[in-house]
A = this chain, B = another copy of it.
Amino acid sequence: MNNKLQMIENRLDELTASCGALHPTVCDAMRYSLLDAGKRVRPVFTLSFCEALGGDAESALDFACAVEMVHTYSLIHDDLPCMDDDDMRRGKPSCHKVYGEAVALLAGDALLTLAFGTIAQCKTVSADKIAAAAAELARLSGAAGMVGGQVIDLDSEGKSVPIETLRVLDAGKTCALIEAACVLGCICADADEAALSAARKYASGVGMAFQIVDDILDVTGDEAILGKPVESDAGNNKSTYVSLMGIEGASAEARRYTQEATAALDVLGGECEFLKDFAQKLLYRIS
């Protein structure tokens, strides 16, 4: 695990240091939000699926970094005043609090663009895999995936939404990018349809559990450990698993999703222990 995290950290540093920015400020803002921050959950999924399916984690490193760039751009834009208006992120002031709204907006745009540039220029895989990975990442992070979920989220603010809407919202906002992370690792390792399907089920279960735990931590968590304010959902009048099912009910739901996720990996055979343990670790995380 530490080895994977170090690989990801180093490569994110390299990719942004050499991005050729025409103005230093945009590069600074990109690196401020991207580096030394975050749990790197998504890129770890990419490397781990590649390894579990017999590939070399190193070959999936650029795909993994691309997914983390998409995640980071979405946080930068999500924190803007016209969105969630959050001042703190990953234990430090959010990008727009340091660089201003306009630069934060553009740094997010540049990170999203660099994500696809990183996939397109990846030297460790074939052009076929590059095209397949870019197509999956675009589908799952755009209007049909992550961004679509964010728009449902906006539309749900200040309303009491039924659990079914919350599931669609979270499938888009949270699960879709986790699915991209897992699938991109599979693509690197030449996965067959059965493995891809198992990865998508795992991602869906882990993603839903991840979001529910997020909702729980927003109520029970420690602000200093989380690195962001708690009770923001209640403040923003958002329906969450906790507001709809209570903490006990939501916890049971998160355990059920995690169980589904790990069960989905059984078809893959031997090398999935790390991914199963990782799902459990995410279930019992405190930040």
Contact = CB atoms under 8 A, between A and B. Distances in A.
A150 interface: yes
B23 A148 contact: yes
B135 A22 contact: no
A191 B66 CA distance: 29
A114 B138 contact: yes
Nearest to A73: B109
Given A134-B134, A150-B106, A19 B143 contact: yes
Contacts of A7: none
Contacts of A252: none
Interface string A95-139: 000001111011011101110111111000011101110110111
A250 interface: no
Contact of A147 (B113, B137, B145): B113
Given A120-B135, A131-B120, A139-B117, A109 B147 contact: yes
Chain A interface SS verdict (over half): helix
Interface residues of A, number: 60
Contact of A105 (B22, B25, B83, B118): B83
A80 interface: yes
A141 B115 CA distance: 12
A30 interface: yes
A20 interface: yes
Interface stretch (A151-159, A207-215, A216-224, A272-280): A151-159
Interface in A31-87: 73-74, 77, 80-83
Nearest to A138: B117
Contact of A148 (B21, B119, B141): B21
A163 interface: no
A119 B132 CA distance: 11
Contacts of A149: 22
A226 interface: no
A144 interface: yes
A101 B82 contact: yes
A26 B127 contact: no
A142 interface: yes
A282 interface: no
Given A127-B131, A130-B131, A141-B113, A103 B151 contact: yes
B114 A26 contact: no
A88 interface: no
A168 interface: yes
A116 B134 contact: yes
